[in-house]
Amino acid sequence: MEGLEGTLAELRDTFKSGRTRSVAWRKSQLRAMIEFVQDNEEEIFKVLGQDMGKHPVEAYRDEVGIVAKSARLSLSCVEKWMAPRKGNIPLAFFPASAEVMPEPFGVVLIMGSWNFPISLTLDPLIGAISAGNVVVLKPSELSPACSSFLAETIPQYLDHKSIKVIEGGIDVCEQLLQQNWDKIFFTGSQRVGRIVMTAAAQHLTPVTLELGGKSPAILDSSSNPANMKVIAKRIVAAKWGSCSGQACIAIDYMLVEEKFASYLIDLLEKTIKQFFGENPRESKSLCKILNKNNFKRLLDLLKDPLIRAAVVSGGSVNEETMYIEPTILLNPPLDSQIMTEEIFGPLLPIITLNNIHDSIEFISSRPKPLVIYAFTRDETFKKQILSKTSSGGVTFNDTLIQFACDSLPFGGVGQSGFGRYHGKYSFDTFSHEKAILQRRFFPELEPRYPPWNDFKFQFIKLLYAFNYIGLLLLLLGLKK
């Protein structure tokens, strides 16, 4: 793909010209981004409907709205974010000034995902632009309508000399990954995350990996019964109400006390009916399964007779329409695939425990998830969850909404990834924080230089230890 080398060379030249570094350029692009989503809202709804069967409400909530909000925030804050931050200097180094100045990395690669094909490409893009970089955007080929739309429409709004959209499949990704980027931002699976980081290692390219994992939801029976209806809504919304469970922050599985299980299942079933009607297959509020591969993968999770036996609600499928009914399972075997792999689909295992506090051990003995949800009023339990488990983030008494909170860093830890974004964190993730120390010629400290003698030795030792009293005594001839 010689075109690629040429494209990159062009981007490098653009970056070198300094064009993307001015406040004016960054703001103009952010404004253009806002215009882009506003002007093309209906079209975006259309392509999301085509690729994912996403309803406009979901499409707005999780995609258009997120992008518009990010762009607006960055527009109002970018100048502030760009400003150098002063640092304190020990007296020993006076006179001097120290500051940290953010600067763009240069030429960055953003690889988007198929489940939120608009927001997971454009939200990082906003960060890259705010930080002053030039960008190659690689939307996922698994959401082709969105990918095409971005490829066609972005150049109409954004500076095409600095921001390029490159479409394609695995072979294009491979070629992209061989290039020398100044930063790679990847959203996707752990398997591909490894490939991306291994490729990045060849060029020492820093990476942010937004991956996934099995995000659990703990439901404590201390939760007020009056709130159970809302809790059930939030659980159902976090499983089937966002891309039909095909989301990194979807609830993967639930942990409840044994005595609670049947009550919960009952409540969930009622809520599912409330949300999706008697026949969820006909609901326009339920996204579809992405494609045959994913459908087959999910079917395989249900294949095993032990798993089938654990299905307590739903479970029907239609291979022609690639439809899987919202399905709840009760205590599938813990070593089964459905309990060891990220589900990423409309199947919800519920695991019962004798005591809800056992959920801490359950979760911490497994790979670190992107998020832990916990419904509880027990303040001690909350503290224990925070201190004894590790995850990208924790949300108490709700689901999904942490994604919309700009002041919280969004990212994983361990197998769920590293690096973070949203709000100012997006700006930071695409910036190098350059340390700057300014010194003066006067005054000059003679004892800094060889040839060494005892006095100089003492002087420097005391100076670097910030022992000012000792230094004074030395200078007054009172210290040996």
Partner 1 sequence: MATEEEKQTVFDVEAANMLTKELRDVFASGKTRSYEWRISQLKSMIKMCDEHEEDIVDALHQDLSKPKLESIVYEITMLKNSCTLAIKELKQWMMPEKAKTSLLTFPSSAEIVPEPLGVVLIISAWNYPFLLSLDPLVGAIAAGNAMVLKPSEFSPATSSLLAKLLPEYLDISSIKVVEGAVSETSALLEQKWDKIFYTGNGIVGRIVMAAAAKHLTPVVLELGGKSPVVVDSGIDLQIATRRIIAGKWGCNNGQACVSPDYIITTKDCADKLVDSLKKELETFYGKNPLESKDLSRIVNSKHFSRLTKLLDEDKVSRKIVYGGERDEANLKICPTILVDVPCDSLIMKEEIFGPLLPILIVSKIEDSFDMINSGTKPLAAYLFTNNKKLKEQFVVSVSAGGVVINDIAMHLAIHTLPFGGVGESGTGSYHGKFSFDAFSHKKAVLYRSFMGDAALRYPPYTRGKLRLMKAFMTSNFWNILRALLGRS
Of 438, 455, 468, 472, the residue at the interface with partner 1 (CB under 8 A) is 438
Select 127 or 419, whichever has its Cβ closest to partner 1.
419
x/- string (CB under 8 A) for partner 1, residues 70-109?
A: --x--------------xxxx--x--x-x-xx-x-xx---
Of 18, 156, 174, 292, the residue at the interface with partner 1 (CB under 8 A) is 18
Of 444, 469, 477, 478, the residue at the interface with partner 1 (CB under 8 A) is 444
- Give the N- to C-terminal CA distance of the chain in Å, as an integer: 72
Of 194, 270, 303, 308, the residue at the interface with partner 1 (CB under 8 A) is 194
To partner 1, the closest distance from the beta carbon of 281 in angstroms equals 14
Check binding of 57 to partner 1 (CB under 8 A): yes
To partner 1, the closest distance from the beta carbon of 347 in angstroms equals 18
Q: 256 φ, ψ to 5°?
A: -135, 165
Q: Which residue has the tokens 């258009």?
A: 64
Select 127 or 332, whichever has its Cβ closest to partner 1.
127
- Measured at the alpha carbon of residue 299, what is the angle toward residues 293 and 301, in degrees to the nearest 5? 110
Select 172 or 460, whichever has its Cβ closest to partner 1.
460
Q: Which of residues 407-426 bind partner 1 (CB under 8 A)?
A: 407-410, 413-415, 417-420
To partner 1, the closest distance from the beta carbon of 128 in angstroms equals 16
The DSSP annotation for 175-197 comes to: HHHHS--SEEEEES-HHHHHHHH
**C-alpha closest to that of 344 among 236, 186, 212:** 212
Of 7, 190, 313, 336, the residue at the interface with partner 1 (CB under 8 A) is 190
Largest CA distance in the chain: 93
Q: 38 φ, ψ to 5°?
A: -70, -50
Select 145 or 408, whichever has its Cβ closest to partner 1.
408
Q: Which of residues 288-307 bind partner 1 (CB under 8 A)?
A: none
Of 43, 433, 472, 475, the residue at the interface with partner 1 (CB under 8 A) is 433
Q: Which of residues 211-240 bind partner 1 (CB under 8 A)?
A: 211, 224, 227, 230-231, 233, 236-237
Of 3, 225, 451, 477, the residue at the interface with partner 1 (CB under 8 A) is 451
Select 191 or 305, whichever has its Cβ closest to partner 1.
191
Helical packing angle, 41-52 and 144-157, nearest 10°: 160
Q: Which of residues 122-181 bind partner 1 (CB under 8 A)?
A: none
Q: Which of residues 331-390 bind partner 1 (CB under 8 A)?
A: 364, 386-388, 390
How many Cβ atoms are within 10 Å of 260's Cβ, its own excluded?
19
To partner 1, the closest distance from the beta carbon of 6 in angstroms equals 20
Helix (H) or strand (E) holding 471: helix 468-475
Site stretch for partner 1 (CB under 8 A), options 6-14, 160-168, 259-267, 443-451: 443-451
Strand partners, 209: 186, 418
- Strand, coil or helix: what is 143? coil
Residue count, binding to partner 1 (CB under 8 A): 105
Query: CA-to-CA distance for 362 and 178, rounded, in angstroms?
Result: 40
- Strand, coil or helix: what is 17? coil
174 in Cβ contact with 151 (< 8 Å): no
Query: CA-to-CA distance for 262 and 146, rounded, in angstroms?
Result: 41
Of 23, 436, 472, 475, the residue at the interface with partner 1 (CB under 8 A) is 436
Site stretch for partner 1 (CB under 8 A), options 1-9, 68-76, 312-320, 336-344: 68-76
Select 4 or 197, whichever has its Cβ closest to partner 1.
197
Helix (H) or strand (E) holding 417: strand 417-418
The DSSP annotation for 256-274 comes to: EEGGGHHHHHHHHHHHHHH
To partner 1, the closest distance from the beta carbon of 292 in angstroms equals 25
Read off the tokens for 148.
Answer: 């095409």
To partner 1, the closest distance from the beta carbon of 306 in angstroms equals 30
Gyration radius of the chain's alpha carbons: 27
Q: Which residues are designated catalytic?
A: 210, 248
- Reported residue count of the chain is 480
Select 451 or 477, whichever has its Cβ closest to partner 1.
451
Q: 92 φ, ψ to 5°?
A: -55, -25
